[in-house]
Structure 1
Amino acid sequence: MKTSLQNFAFILLFGALLLGCKEQVKEQETSQPNIVLFLVDDMGWQDTSVPFWNKRTPFNDLYRTPNMERLAAEGMKFTQAYATPVCSPTRISLITGMNAARHRVTNWTLHKNAIQPMENNHQTLGFPKWNTNGINPQNNRDSLAVYATPFPQILKDAGYFTVHTGKAHFGAIGTPGENPLNLGFDVNIAGHAAGAPESYYGMQNFGNGKKGKEIWAVPGLEKYHGKDIFLTEALTQEALQKLDSKPDQKPFFLYMAHYAVHTPIMGDPRFVQGYLDKGLDSTEAKYASMVEGMDKSLGDIMDYLEEKQLTENTIILFMSDNGGLSAVARGGEPHTHNKPLASGKGSIYEGGIREPMLVKWPGKTTPGSVTNTPVIIEDFFPTILEMAGVENPEVVQMVDGQSFTSLLQGDDISADNRPFFWHYPNEWGPEGPGIDAFSAIRLGDWKLIYFHKNQQMELYNIKEDIGETQNKVGEHPEKVEELANILMEHLNAVDAQMPFDKATGEQIPWPNATQP
């Protein structure tokens, strides 16, 4: 009898220990934070009611983005966040942590092995064969793709359920990088090679069935075809449904990469009338409605997290992939839609590269906090992995980005000694201020731009002259020399490509080889 009681007690004790171990494992599994990366396409620094400057502007009073306001109130606002001037370079830097000069996907991708037609047709410059095929996660010797380990794959290997939603634009048609499922995502919703939708309207099947436009038709949303729904809303609904189906105990990474607010500018019927009532012309009213529709998506995701009691264990990062479109397709005067910033998408001036950025990291970021420390798109790679608790990940590429987690936790970090680099040995197409082939550096308050076509330099003090109206090249030759040398050293170190002069066949000189 005593032996039976002892055995029974042992069984109870063993069961309790086993249950405790399971609970401990469960706690460890759920301690990893969920992560939402909300990336908007072509959204300008001021396409929001949240001011990212030291004062409000008329643009901040024009747009309605209450959920961005909500996120800013709950997290940290970055006033000097940078990307590249066009989409694919930013997206490749984002998922590889590499600077664009290093990964060489320096222009937007679409067709395999082909540089863009406007590059072939440039009057004075010949352009290098950049990595037109985008990212290649497989070591299959594609000479026109960057071989790299994307961070979604690292998260997936660390136990995350990874969901891609919306615009991909990581690789050319017919390459591995075309499909987000090859980049570490468990689920791909509507992502493919093209960087814009043929239509935002479900009633138009998002462009499917339109002869000659097959490349641009948004894939995988057939259940919404013929329905009165805007693309932004359809993508949001699909993303949240996929989160509902995720495996138990797995943290999730949701990459919410909207096609909005990229062209074609098509009004979101839910919001457009309010902007027409404000007196905006038809194009600008449609554009503003697309911004508000994007903001509603952000709010829907935040509401979902609250309803599922996931708010306290979910990080939200908000960013745009390049400056706001201003050179073409907009209403009003070109190159003015990002004032006081100069120019817009495609330009090396601040209007082309400075982005709205917000981050909420529960328990880490102080609600309503602001940082003026500059960060750049490749910094997201090490930051997100650090947030996820991934230490020393194995990657095949050299990572240029630096984690900004310390900023999020309130550390005051000086950026005076950290240079930021941009390199675009390419042709975008539209004309406008700062829209050209260039290399550039920002160090502290100073920004130096080297334009390849005329081999001229421009120097600006961004702190004093945010609109880049006063070229200081003649006044500060020592600063020009200092920055040009640092820029040249970086371009040499990453084996950057340069255009060549069609008339002479000679490569455009490096920055320090040219007198301003």
Structure 2
Amino acid sequence: MTKFRGHIAILIAITGSLLLLGNRHTYKIRPNIIVFLVDDMGWQDCSVPFWSSPTPLNHRYHTPNMEKLAAAGMKFTSAYATPVCTPTRSSMLTGLNAAHHHITNWTSPRKNNNTDAVDEDLSPAIWNINGLSPVKNIERTYFATPFPQILQDDGYFTIHVGKAHWASAGTPGANPYNMGFMVNISGHAAGHPQSYLARENFGNQPGKAVMQAVPDLEEYYGTDTFLTEALTLEAIKSLMAPIRNNQPFFLNMAHYAVHTPIMRDQRYYPEYIHAGLDSIEAAYASLVEGMDKSLGDLMDFLHTEGVAKNTIIIFMSDNGGLSLAPPRGGEAHTQNLPLRAGKGSVYEGGIRVPMIVSWPGITHSGSTSDQYVMIDDFLPTILEMAKVKQTHYQAIDGKSIVPYLKNSNLIDTTRALIWHYPNKWQTQGGPGINYFSAIRKGAWKLVYNQRTGSKELYNLKDDIGEKLDLSKSLPHITNRLSTLLSNQLRSWAAPMPFNKTTGRRLLFPDEWTE
């Protein structure tokens, strides 16, 4: 879509929203909501500690605006996403676990293209390779009502800026306008940018279709504007209309940063080189700080416009930090210490992410919650925040976290969180990568290797790095979690890979016999 067409779309959206003003809620008492979603940001890739004490990584990065947000709101020390991006983004919009909606891996920009790497012994699971769809009967997709559509139907002005990556091109779910958004800037089927540089036209080439090229930002071509900055400027422009009309808004500020390609944001790169980082890690740190500036610019804008006190900000990453080296610098799978492994893994480094919620008048300043929560919880939480009464949407797996936002001391250890990755993400594999499932209940976490049937048990309270496997010494806990995980996967008809020799699907954890 050209920039001109983008402006036309905004004008149409504004006109439509004005027609609703006479018969909707009294807008001033309903909060504005911003989800600030970062791509591939690790749990410790910031100067805000999410552990009991700051780590060396916390001292590496400079994120003053995250610090400001945390000082104003609540940190969640045990917030979880899925191992990779599309499952997280689909769970966020639907309130469903990835094992339930069967979008278990990242989706290709090409329709009907399975993104699983080839495996010598296993055939791919039958998962929804075309992603999420708001329309029924689209092959290899999961049909559901995305919560932005519910918000729009209830009077919210809904805006998407940045990475979408819910579905393959050529399917309805690839277009944010079909997913409940009244404005879309740069969201499409691709999962990363071809380039962060406006000097390179963000990867766009005249007369040539480049799948990862970022759309809608023509006015910045040939300038020194970094992609993160351009998206922020466009988000601020898009917010002007609902603010002027005193209409509540929902902004999905979904940055492409800090996903590969790891490119230098020259505004911040030199300071990290001077601090002694190698060129790759300095570039990565500059992506992080550029993302933080975006957060600060949005917060400053809300204050200037006088709407900060009625705006909720939810900060989250879509999966753990990348720990493959290359493209990261240093030794592989050390980039998220003290957590084990990284993106693509069901170990903590791949799924535990930074999360901050600021809800003026509700969250206590500088508070911390140790309650474990998951991306599936966003739909019920946001609808409760927005005072939406509609219940005519899919049955969900997530639970509202509003009670924890109101009481940081509240802890529920009876809930079980589940991760299911029946896919081959990387040819070379790695710890907890390719064909794994996991379950957490209380402090206990079971990790299940689908290929071998092996099970590992960890006490995360004492062993956040998942170093001491207790499965043999505590078989009763291992078996209990194994059964719980298996029963839930069966209830969702969770996809599993197949043995090429026998043609049979791999076993659920409790189906293995010693």
Letter in 1 for 2:84: V
CA deviations over 1:352-376 (Å, ceiling 9, x no partner): 0000000000100000000000000
Q: In structure 2, how many angstroms separate the alpha carbons of the residues matched to 1:249 and 1:49?
A: 35
2:224 aligned with 1:224: no
Q: In structure 1, how many angstroms separate the alpha carbons of the residues matched to 2:452 and 2:262?
A: 34
Partner of 1:5: none
Shift of 1:210: 7.6
Partner of 1:334: 332
Moved more, 181-190 or 207-216: 207-216
Pick from 19, 39, 42: which aligns with 1:41?
A: 39
Partner of 1:73: 71
TM-score between both structures, scaled by the size of structure 2: 0.93
Pick from 393, 397, 401: which aligns with 1:400?
A: 397
| Unmatched runs of 5 consecutive residues or more in structure 1 | 1-22
In the TM superposition, structure 1's runs of 4+ consecutive aligned residues that sit over 4 Å from their partners are 23-27, 210-213
Partner of 2:385: 387
2:138 aligned with 1:142: yes
Letter in 2 for 1:224: Y
Pick from 97, 102, 115: which aligns with 2:95?
A: 97
Shift of 1:113: 1.8
Instruction: Give the conservation status (yes or no) of the 8 Å contact 2:89–2:318.
Output: yes
Q: In structure 2, how many angstroms separate the alpha carbons of the residues matched to 1:403 and 1:196?
A: 30
Pick from 192, 208, 223: which aligns with 1:196?
A: 192
Instruction: Give the conservation status (yes or no) of the 8 Å contact 2:369–2:408.
Output: no
Shift of 1:24: 11
Q: In structure 2, how many angstroms separate the alpha carbons of the residues matched to 1:361 and 1:53?
A: 22
Instruction: Give the conservation status (yes or no) of the 8 Å contact 2:336–2:349.
Output: yes
Tell me the percent identity: 54
Change (3 A) 1:484 1:476: same
Q: In structure 1, how many angstroms separate the alpha carbons of the residues matched to 2:238 and 2:451?
A: 48
2:204 aligned with 1:208: yes
Aligned pairs for 1:71-470 within 5 A: 71-110=69-108, 111-116=110-115, 118=117, 121-139=118-136, 141-209=137-205, 214-246=210-242, 248-328=245-325, 329-395=327-393, 397-410=394-407, 412-429=409-426, 430-470=428-468
Q: In structure 2, how many angstroms separate the alpha carbons of the residues matched to 1:207 and 1:26?
A: 42
Shift of 1:411: 5.5
Instruction: Give the conservation status (yes or no) of the 8 Å contact 1:156–1:184.
Output: yes
Change (3 A) 1:202 1:286: same
SS in 1 for 2:26: helix
2:29 aligned with 1:31: yes
Instruction: Give the conservation status (yes or no) of the 8 Å contact 2:46–2:58.
Output: yes
Shift of 1:27: 8.7
Aligned pairs for 1:475-490 within 5 A: 475-490=473-488
| Unmatched runs of 5 consecutive residues or more in structure 2 | 1-20
Instruction: Give the conservation status (yes or no) of the 8 Å contact 1:67–1:295.
Output: yes
Change (3 A) 1:454 1:236: same
Letter in 1 for 2:189: A
Letter in 2 for 1:128: A
Partner of 2:16: none
Moved more, 217-226 or 430-439: 430-439
CA RMSD of aligned residues (A): 1.6
Letter in 2 for 1:454: T
Letter in 2 for 1:307: T
Instruction: Give the conservation status (yes or no) of the 8 Å contact 1:124–1:453.
Output: no
Shift of 1:450: 1.0
Shift of 1:30: 1.5
Q: In structure 1, how many angstroms separate the alpha carbons of the residues matched to 2:409 and 2:368?
A: 11
Shift of 1:129: 2.3
Letter in 1 for 2:215: P
